[in-house]
Structure 1
């Protein structure tokens, strides 16, 4: 139930710093060769032509973003987030804002209206992030060069020797990249600073000895190899200097770090831009409170059903929360060994594929590779598992299912972690992250006839689909309606609800760590290690944790409306494939288009 890496990287790549492992997607203003001032005026462009022009200019303005969707024309550019860059960016964004306002006032088809509305939200959010949110000042974790270099190294879009030449050009900008980062940072948030130190220490896993060995064995000329080694050394020194700079900014660890809280007004603004829901953040929080009680009741019913099987000699506690907790603890004892956790994840994937095909839930593309691996070092410290998917321009490239390695984790912590991701919840995790969750959804997104709907990623739709996939699979009979699996599923679904309660409570209501741990451990039945990790994540991000519940609840409502609208023509396969066919658009946008059919 973790954020997809593609969505995370693109979120970072649009504007400013963020608390995910990626490079900043700002480009030096000198690299921006096409602007709207040089383009045709809006009055001369149709909505379709404007959308095509916008996307072309987008990749020039944000070459890092382009990398993550598989557009490699600007792969040699490493953006530098300096004042001149932000000024050029704002100029371009405000030109687009004016043009979009003009076009949106004209007569448009539904598809054109939704595409341009997505672009307008992107532009307005980007302006807000630079001028008001300003995370490029307070979040040092947004500055990390590893992601783009890894994307090029792992790709096969051109011969290796050419990719190494591209990397050599990018390496030359690494010192300036980190120099700009140092100049930008003002009053950094402590948790984000600690994350930046940890993840930048992992840059060596990409820009290290292995890369140099590859270079020396390559077809580069001797002069190119000398230049590459010098540029790599300078880059490594720049990373080390940035780490030292950050280490001087954080105090010695004594108790909990202060949390960077947004407050209600800023939180609602970010929620509106990121989630694009018909609800406000406060309304979603209130809905989550109601669902929390509903799920508790369902879990109590299943616990009562299972009690004689597991505790025949013990009376069930009158306190239903205590009884549910005891049952969950019992079921959590069966889990993989630490060294085999990734293997256990991998072994389950064929079972999921077979179930979907047998029950005709949706069409799977057998030709899209899924590679399960341990999470790279420069991405660790944030999520247990994640999907790193290619974009629509390079749809045949590998999709990576990143799984956190447990090697080196203290025994007690590893046991707590594995009890959380036991034999039942590991299955739900795989549904969520892989099939038919994130992996499947992003394969469909890359085939969307609307390029704009594919590249303008809405996190609530992406995470909401993955949560919906869990429910859909169990409703279709995955696990043979085993009550143990359903009980664990409701625990997992309760986590979705709790994510929203936690995020809103921390950033708006001022929740402290002790209260957060009570919410997660005592009210959501989470293991201590999972709860501690979620507290860390909630202090490193804002709003994103609400995307799971926001998207899921909206999709469930849409499914019921589709059943009523389509009548006898409704099937779960039709719903799934129609929904996924609209790319990564917000659920409310997809709903308008689906229900018009």
Structure 2
């Protein structure tokens, strides 16, 4: 059995050196001896330093703290100016040095993996501020609304207390947006448009509902008056920021001197290294995705041949493989909800998925953790069709929100394109991914992890990879009664995961234009035009994140097969799932080493 050190040491090396050095380290670490016996003194020192690190982390990032359910700093609002960024750099340098003084070989596997995550996080801060510098070109980084909405709508304390916290935090909003304007240099166009949209949506958090709650509260007249003054100033600051962005957008439209939203190969590989944390480069994952696209086309072609006589009994399938698949998918896509019933149909499927997971003994579900399906709030729109907002480890009992894009006001043409994409088959896969047993279930488990570090420093490839993995796992377990129609739609959905990686890499590194991207998504990926246009926009707004789905999915699937081989008849799918999820949001290579170490002990 391999020791836990190689993958953990690889993560540590990735946080401190370039990819070439990491590759060399990986080759050396493959021959590394078994770890020495752990030291209680080093373990204790690491635990104490970790607690100190987390305490200072929340002082530095109070908005993030609120999202994790840590409300002790909720009245604070970081002001994103040069002084704040210097504090971040000092924090990262100080704790990099402190943690670097620890001998990681003296830590047990769980502590070693926590240390790897911390070191990667601290190195990423320094890279972000010194090299990536999105604070200078991404105005969508600046938006106060999310944490304010959580304070207002989460019952972590009586309403009066939350309103007082809201008021104190609100006093800093004008300074926040003033610093945002001073920090921006030349924005990228897609990020500029998104920032305008989402900050216009931010005003909804400071709207009539808030005033109504204030009026009905037990705050004194003096407190209410002060609240109203701060509220007016906050609204004005947001409106002025939007006007500032609109003016900048108008000026840049004339000159077309926006910053390029494509970050190029060097920055892309560096960002991939910090964000994805797997044992390959972005270019290597891209090449694997190209191969997987061809494999999925082959599987879809076989199913299309099987279904063709049923749906097109009077005609022969086209010779072109992609045209044949597309024709069958288009026929199946006719089955869908209406724009008025889409959200209700999403909501109706959730208990059905929970019942299937329980009946087939795939996972233990916690029925006490509420899942609320809601329309995506205005300040979060413009990025994805559906998403999950889960409570953090400090407030585990709070609601998890399943955000669904509102489509009631879409034009009939746009709605039809959207609904054909998210048809009755794909809606089921979407709900598996976002809700049960995907993101919602995984994040409930993550909050139960004994490692706070693994919960708060979550790895996106593991989180997205799990959601993608569950799509296939549910169908393998018999969800949908092995319907070839559902499997064909699943392969289309899974192909989207693969194309996400290809699309992101080709846009950001190879510089492809919208026409090439649309061909990739519509002709080769069988996506509806509305979906593809939305994904093009998303791929111009973010970098690397779209690769996390395929990267994590591939690693989790490989780990499951490895554990099957090692355990043989003793392998139990439910036990594998629950053990995998017990490690929180750690990168899959780290979870693998921890699972193998535990297997070795047993």
TM-score normalised by structure 1 residue count: 0.91
1:527-582 Cα deviation digits (max 9, x unpaired): 00000000000000000000000000011111111111222221110111110010
Distance 1:255 1:90 in 2: 35
Counterpart of 1:31? none
Structure 2 partner of 1:52 = 51
User: Offset of 1:407 from its aligned partner?
Assistant: 2.0
Q: Secondary structure at the match of 1:199?
A: helix
Name the counterpart of 2:63: 64
Equivalent residue pairs, number:
556
> Do 2:373 and 2:403's aligned partners in 1 also have CA atoms closer than 8 Å?
yes
State the partner residue of 1:158: 157
Q: Structure 2 CA distance, aligned partners of 1:147 and 1:357?
A: 34
User: Does the 8 Å contact 1:145/1:203 carry over to 2?
Assistant: yes
Structure 2 CA distance for aligned equivalents of residues 45 and 345 of structure 1: 47
Deviation of 1:253 after TM superposition, in Å, equals 6.9
CA contact (8 A) 1:259 1:539 kept: no
What is the SS of the residue equivalent to 1:402? strand
User: What are the within-5 Å matches in structure 2 for residues 38-437 of structure 1?
Assistant: 46-251=45-250, 259-437=260-438
Q: Distance in 2 between matches of 1:296 and 1:255?
A: 43
1:425-456 CA-to-partner distances (Å, cap 9, x unmatched) read: 00000000000000000000000011111111
Bigger CA drift: 237-246 or 559-568? Answer: 559-568
Q: SS where residue 388 of structure 2 aligns?
A: strand
Say if 1:191 and 1:259, in contact at 8 Å, map to a contact too. Answer: no
Secondary structure of the corresponding residue to residue 269 of structure 1:
helix
Distance verdict in 2 for CA 1:106–1:595, change over 3 Å = closer
Q: SS of 1:339's equivalent?
A: coil
Gaps of 5+ in 1: 1-41
Q: Is the 8 A contact 1:66 1:72 kept in 2?
A: yes
Structure-2 change in CA distance of 1:258 and 1:131 (3 Å): closer
Tell me how far apart the structure 2 counterparts of residues 246 and 346 of structure 1 sit (CA, whole Å).
37
> SS where residue 206 of structure 2 aligns?
coil
SS of corresponding position for 2:373: strand
Cα contact 2:43–2:111 (8 A) shared by 1 = no
CA contact (8 A) 1:104 1:113 kept: no
Aligned position for 1:7:
none
Aligned equivalents of 2:556, 2:369: Cα separation in 1: 26
- Residues 60-119 of structure 1 show CA distances to partners (whole Å, capped at 9, x for unaligned) of 121111111111110000110111111122111101011111114551111111111100
| Aligned-pair CA distance for 1:342 | 0.4
What stretches of structure 2 of length at least 5 have no aligned partner?
Answer: 1-40
C-alpha distance in structure 2 between counterparts of 1:44 and 1:337, whole Å = 57
- How far apart in 2 are the matches of 1:319 and 1:215? 64
- Residues 43, 555 of structure 1: alpha-carbon distance in 2 compared, 3 angstrom cutoff: closer
Give the distance between the partners of 1:490 and 1:279, measured in 2 at CA.
Answer: 25
Bigger Cα displacement from structure 2, 470-479 vs 560-569: 560-569
1:537 alignment partner in structure 2: 538
C-alpha spacing 1:43/1:303, structure 2 compared with 1 (3 Å): closer
- Does the Cα contact within 8 Å between 1:433 and 1:466 map onto a contact in 2? yes
CA contact (8 A) 1:76 1:169 kept: yes
Give the 3-state SS of the residue equivalent to 1:387 in structure 2.
strand
Higher mean alpha-carbon deviation, 293-302 vs 90-99, is at 90-99
Relative distance call for 1:255 and 1:342 in structure 2 (3 A) is: farther
Q: TM-score, normalised to structure 2's length? A: 0.91
For residues 328 and 419 of structure 1, what CA distance do their matches in structure 2 show?
Answer: 10
**Distance change >3 Å, CA 254–CA 360, structure 1 → 2:** farther
* CA–CA separation in structure 2 for the residues paired with 1:542 and 1:448: 29
- C-alpha separation between the residues in 1 aligned to 2:362 and 2:408? 37
Provide runs of 4+ in structure 1 moved above 3 Å.
42-45, 251-259
Any conservation in 1 of the 2:88–2:125 contact (CA below 8 Å)? Answer: no
Whether contact under 8 Å (1:141, 1:196) holds in the other structure is yes
Tell me the alpha carbon deviations over residues 318-362 of structure 1, each in whole angstroms, 9 at most, x when there is no partner: 111101000000000010010110000000111101111111001
Conserved? CA contact 1:267–1:508, under 8 Å: yes
Give CA deviations for 1:387-430 in whole Å, capped at 9, x if unaligned.
00000110000000000010221110110000000000000000
1:472 has 2:494 as partner: no
How far is 1:259 from its partner?
Answer: 4.9
Distance 1:254 1:517, change over 3 A: farther
- 2:42–2:103 CA contact under 8 A, matched in 1: no
Alignment RMSD (CA, Å): 1.5
